[in-house]
């Protein structure tokens, strides 16, 4: 008998890694699909509650987090037991970055307990992106794993079903391309790796029933071999309906599958496709490519905002290009206005005081031991009650060499609009400033672009891209006025596959590695131009 308690077991329990997924009889799949719909409907009521009353959820989580960590080294250091209000919290504890906690995390990874969070923590997500370290390691205690990351995934599904009541995700298979994890040699109880791999390792039972191809394949350490094996297995399947992952690597996988099957698009391979949950990078530059891969008006795209540090947002209305802030999933938020980004002790604002249309850096306190921690991500709120936002970039990934303040979101939008107008598609891009020099009296921007579908007129594309960026960003428009400060941007196309080969050459080939979109320096642009030239010669 399939009762409520057995369904709750499927939702919340997880198995150890096993070589093959669990299979369920067809009649059981129908029952599970119905039960999941009922569960997600109930979960949606909770989401609707915090959409309208986010302050209550946030106040509750701040109390919980401070109380849970009060007896840790960090809690005693900053007097968590005596903090009663958000204002007192902000006055008592300084803002932190990874450099401020990395020594504590290094001790935790080697067995120290009750440092940033209670007890010993044995799982750590690994990601890149700090200024002084090649990699950073973020604690993933079980409470954070299940009550933030996995809870966020369930909220995504609840919102997806609310938008598409005909969804039947639990009749078919789900494909996610994760990274991998490994043990720490000097302390084998500790495991670290991509957060996606950690979540696959601890996937709830119900997820394993519908997961493809299998856990052993998806946790293979060699990413190229993993992609090849996933392509081999899933190219023979017909029942994949839902997939997730970074767009770059999914495009690589889909091309491998199409080459193997001889099909024209992914709907011919997987006719039950219904939705794609995407995140990690702006999706606009990839939209045209995915449209060609999946030519369907009914296919759903849902953006998510999940990171090594937590699951923070999800697109709640598929007709609008913004994300709902997840305020009841183990995280307390503060927001740093752009005028405070460079300050050692920045002033912050809470949800009730954020302003629509302004850029904020995100600061979190979470159930992983990170308190008043600056993520490095920037967002702009688009509406209130519910509080929804757009990701605009990173505090260190932008171009502001001449006061133009171009964020990644601006560049993504301008490129997507240009592709739409001129019937083109872009696979990858990166951009950087062209600085003043003795020969160069005015500055500018240089874009290195890899086209999936080249425009008929590259010069026209260059012009429209510059005009689109001016319409989107008034500071850039002002600097471009009559070419007085900035020349028109310079476009450098590179051959197909250049970015993937460049990432591989840099040792950045894998699920968690993303192409750097913008930089205030020229390192990436110059590396790519040089690599494309040398790669072309090698090909000859």
Q: How far from 98 is each of 119, 131, 369, CA to CA, in Å?
A: 21, 9, 12
| Averaged pLDDT, 486-499 | 93
Residue-level pLDDT at 22: 45
Question: What is the C-alpha separation between 2 and 8, in angstroms, rounded?
Answer: 11
Q: How far from 464 is each of 318, 459, 526, CA to CA, in Å?
A: 28, 9, 24
| Averaged pLDDT, 97-124 | 97
Q: Name beta bridge partners: 310.
A: 307
- Rg of the chain in Å (alpha carbons): 23
Closest by alpha carbon to 223, among 515, 514, 511?
511
In a domain, 457, yes or no: yes
| Averaged pLDDT, 107-135 | 84
In a domain, 90, yes or no: no
Closest by alpha carbon to 97, among 69, 121, 129, 65?
129
In a domain, 435, yes or no: yes
Domain region containing 481: 398-539
Question: What is the C-alpha separation between 145 and 153, in angstroms, rounded?
Answer: 11
In a domain, 416, yes or no: yes
Residue-level pLDDT at 20: 42
For 34, the token pair is 């119905």
Looking only at the bridges linking them, the beta strands covering 300-307 and 444-453 are: unpaired
In a domain, 174, yes or no: no
For 135, the token pair is 């990699």
* 3-state secondary structure at position 400: coil
| Angle separating helix axes 54-68 and 26-52, nearest 10 degrees | 100
Question: What is the C-alpha separation between 332 and 350, in angstroms, rounded?
Answer: 9
Residue-level pLDDT at 510: 67
In a domain, 327, yes or no: no
pLDDT in tens, 157-202: 999 999 999 898 888 999 988 888 899 999 999 999 989 889 988 8
In a domain, 65, yes or no: no
Confidence of residue 115 (pLDDT cuts 50, 70, 90): very high
Structural domain count of the chain: 1
Question: Which of 6-15, 269-278, 356-365 has the lowest average pLDDT?
Answer: 6-15
Q: What is the DSSP letter of 308?
A: T
Q: Name beta bridge partners: 136.
A: 127
Question: What is the C-alpha separation between 126 and 181, in angstroms, rounded?
Answer: 9
Q: What is the DSSP letter of 363?
A: E
Cα torsion through 127, 133, 134, 136, rounded to 10: -20
* 3-state secondary structure at position 17: coil
For 228, the token pair is 């090849």
CATH of the domain at 439: 3.30.300
pLDDT in tens, 221-245: 888 888 899 999 999 999 999 999 8
Confirm if 34 and 158 have CB atoms less than 8 A apart: no
Confirm if 135 and 126 have CB atoms less than 8 A apart: yes
Residue-level pLDDT at 485: 74
Confirm if 349 and 419 have CB atoms less than 8 A apart: no
In a domain, 501, yes or no: yes
Confidence of residue 21 (pLDDT cuts 50, 70, 90): very low
């Amino acid at each position: 008998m399939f009762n409520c308690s057995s369904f709750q077991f499927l939702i919340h329990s997880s198995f150890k890694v096993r070589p093959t997924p669990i299979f369920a009889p067809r009649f059981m799949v129908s029952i599970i699909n119905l039960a999941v719909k009922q569960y997600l409907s109930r979960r949606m009521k909770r989401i609707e509650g915090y959409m309208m009353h986010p302050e209550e959820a946030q106040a509750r989580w701040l109390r919980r987090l401070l109380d849970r960590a009060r007896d840790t080294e960090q809690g005693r250091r900053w007097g968590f037991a005596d903090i009663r209000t958000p204002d007192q919290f902000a006055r008592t504890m300084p803002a932190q970055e990874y450099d401020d906690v990395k020594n504590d995390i290094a001790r935790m990874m080697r067995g120290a307990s009750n440092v940033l969070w209670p007890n010993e923590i044995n799982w750590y997500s690994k990601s890149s992106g700090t200024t002084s370290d090649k990699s950073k390691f973020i604690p993933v205690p079980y409470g954070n794993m299940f009550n933030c990351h996995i809870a966020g995934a369930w909220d995504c599904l609840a919102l997806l079903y609310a938008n598409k009541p005909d969804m039947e995700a639990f009749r078919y298979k789900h494909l996610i391309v994760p990274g991998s994890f490994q043990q720490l040699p000097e302390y084998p109880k500790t495991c670290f790796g991509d957060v996606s791999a950690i979540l696959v390792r601890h996937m709830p039972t119900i997820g394993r029933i519908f997961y493809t191809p299998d856990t052993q394949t998806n946790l293979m350490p060699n990413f190229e071999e993993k992609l090849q094996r996933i392509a081999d297995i899933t190219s023979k399947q017909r029942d994949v309906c839902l997939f997730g992952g970074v767009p770059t690597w999914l495009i690589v996988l889909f091309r491998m599958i199409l080459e193997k099957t001889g099909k024209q698009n992914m709907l011919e391979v997987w006719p039950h496709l219904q939705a794609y949950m995407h995140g990690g990078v702006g999706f606009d530059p990839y939209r045209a490519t995915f449209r060609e891969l999946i030519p369907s008006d009914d296919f759903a795209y849902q953006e998510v905002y999940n990171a090594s540090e937590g699951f923070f947002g999800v697109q709640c209305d598929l007709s609008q290009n913004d994300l709902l802030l997840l305020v009841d999933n183990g995280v307390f938020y503060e927001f740093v206005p752009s005028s405070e980004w460079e300050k050692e002790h920045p002033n912050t604002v809470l949800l009730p005081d954020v302003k629509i249309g302004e850029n904020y850096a995100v600061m979190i306190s979470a159930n992983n031991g990170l308190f008043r921690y600056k993520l490095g991500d920037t967002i702009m709120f688009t509406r209130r009650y519910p509080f929804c936002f757009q990701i605009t970039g990173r505090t260190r990934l932008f171009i502001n060499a001449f006061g133009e303040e171009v964020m990644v979101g601006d560049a993504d939008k301008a490129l997507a609009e240009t592709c739409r107008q001129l019937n083109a598609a872009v696979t990858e891009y990166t951009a950087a400033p062209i600085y003043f020099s003795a020969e160069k009296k005015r500055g500018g921007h240089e874009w290195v672009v890899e086209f999936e579908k080249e425009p008929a007129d590259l010069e026209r594309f260059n012009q429209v891209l510059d005009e689109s960026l001016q319409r989107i960003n008034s500071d850039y428009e002002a600097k471009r006025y009559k070419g007085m400060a900035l020349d028109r941007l310079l476009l450098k196309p590179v051959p197909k596959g250049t970015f993937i080969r460049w990432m591989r050459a840099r040792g950045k080939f894998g699920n968690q590695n993303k192409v750097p979109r913008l930089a205030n320096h020229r390192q990436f642009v110059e590396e790519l131009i040089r690599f494309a030239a040398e790669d072309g010669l090698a090909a000859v």
